[in-house]
Structure 1
Amino acid sequence: MARKAPTKLARLMKTGLLVLFIIAASVGATLYYSLQQSSTPAWLAWAEKGQSVEAAPAPDEPPVVKVNAKPIFAPLDPFTVTLNENGRSRILYVGITLRVQDDGSRSMLVEYMPMVRDRVLKILAEQRPTYIQTSEGRQALVAQLSAGLKEPYAPNTAVPNINDVLFTAFVIQ
């Protein structure tokens, strides 16, 4: 005897039953694991007392301190400086981006940008090319730039909160 091919309705019913089974398994697994996490889930405890879930007081947890999830950067236009060492001139091309703590620090840097660039140029011009080519020299340069940029910008007495000085380009020729 030949078997009949399943009809469209039969295939649709099988697919529907499979989807229902998957949903039921998912809900069951979720409830099982949530019951395992705590002895009595909050929604069940409040339902047993006849109170709604919306009326539940906040748990006794310390408040979460908001931390800037996204970093705030203040890019500076690239700098080109002539460096002299032992009578020999070399050119330093450096791109710098500052990582700041908050938008207030970024706007302060933008507001005082001519003074920011002047401080950076003065610090860069004092460098020796052979030293800043080393890892140790670059770390020292980062420390000098960070200290120089964290000083107050007259007449403002506030200082920008600079977390890091990042080199986005660094070429000595």
Structure 2
Amino acid sequence: MIKTIVGIILIAAASIGATALYFLQASVPAVNAETTLPAKPVPLPGPIFVPLEPFTVTLRDNDSSRILYVAITLRVADEDSRKLLGVYMPEVRNRVLLELSTQSPTAVQTPEGRTQLTKSLAKVLEVPYLPQPKGPRISNVLFTAFVVQ
């Protein structure tokens, strides 16, 4: 009789323990190699802008000449490009002036002409500045002022 009571108590204790363990594991999410906690978003680096002093150039056409006043800000891909442009700023300004002076006054007044001008300026400015082996990486050329008079 005592053996029967002890057996019943052991079976009941094992059952209660197994049930408690089951509910405990069910309420706590399991973490394993397949399940990962959501990672904190990595903040993206902010844009790097390099403003240039405004430019004033004379644009010549077959029968007229006009004045172009333009302020430009360059968006660069990395800090190395910003530093490189700062070190070579006289050359940067010279390249921009030379490129601007080749433009037609009628072409730069159209949206397509301005888009083409941004592309040509980026291309001219990305050429390496000697003795550097590579030029800056320019993401965009932005006009912050643009007047043809």
Superposed structure 1 runs of 4+ greater than 2 Å apart: 56-62, 64-67
- Measured after TM superposition, the shift of residue 154 of structure 1 is 0.4
Q: Deviations over 1:77-135 (max 9, x none)?
A: 00000111123111000000000111111111000001100100000000000011000
Matched residues in 2 for 1:65 and 1:158: separation? 29
TM-score of the two chains, using structure 1 as the length reference: 0.63
* 1:124 and 2:108 aligned: no
**Among residues 150, 153, 159, which one is paired with 2:129 in the alignment?**
153
Matched residues in 2 for 1:134 and 1:140: separation? 10
- Measured after TM superposition, the shift of residue 61 of structure 1 is 8.3
Q: How does 1:44-63 map to 2 (within 5 A)?
A: 44-45=28-29, 59=36
The code of the aligned residue for 2:59 comes to L
Q: Give the structure with higher Rg (CA).
A: 2
What secondary structure sits across from 1:133 in the alignment? coil
Counterpart in the other structure of 1:108: 84
Identity %: 50
Which structure 1 residue ranges, 5 or more long, are not aligned?
A: 1-39, 50-55
Higher relative contact order (CA 8 A, sep 6+): 2
What secondary structure sits across from 1:156 in the alignment? coil
The code of the aligned residue for 1:120 comes to V
For the aligned residue pairs, the C-alpha RMSD in angstroms reads: 2.7
Counterpart in the other structure of 1:81: 57
TM-score of the two chains, using structure 2 as the length reference: 0.73
Matched residues in 2 for 1:136 and 1:114: separation? 28
The code of the aligned residue for 1:150 comes to E
Looking at secondary structure, tell me which structure has more helix per residue.
Answer: 1
Matched residues in 2 for 1:79 and 1:151: separation? 20
Matched residues in 1 for 2:73 and 2:148: separation? 18
- Measured after TM superposition, the shift of residue 60 of structure 1 is 8.3
Paired positions, count:
122
What secondary structure sits across from 2:106 in the alignment? helix
Matched residues in 1 for 2:95 and 2:132: separation? 16
Q: Deviations over 1:113-164 (max 9, x none)?
A: 0110010000000000001100010011011001001110001112111100
What secondary structure sits across from 1:45 in the alignment? coil
* 1:135 and 2:111 aligned: yes
The code of the aligned residue for 2:36 comes to P
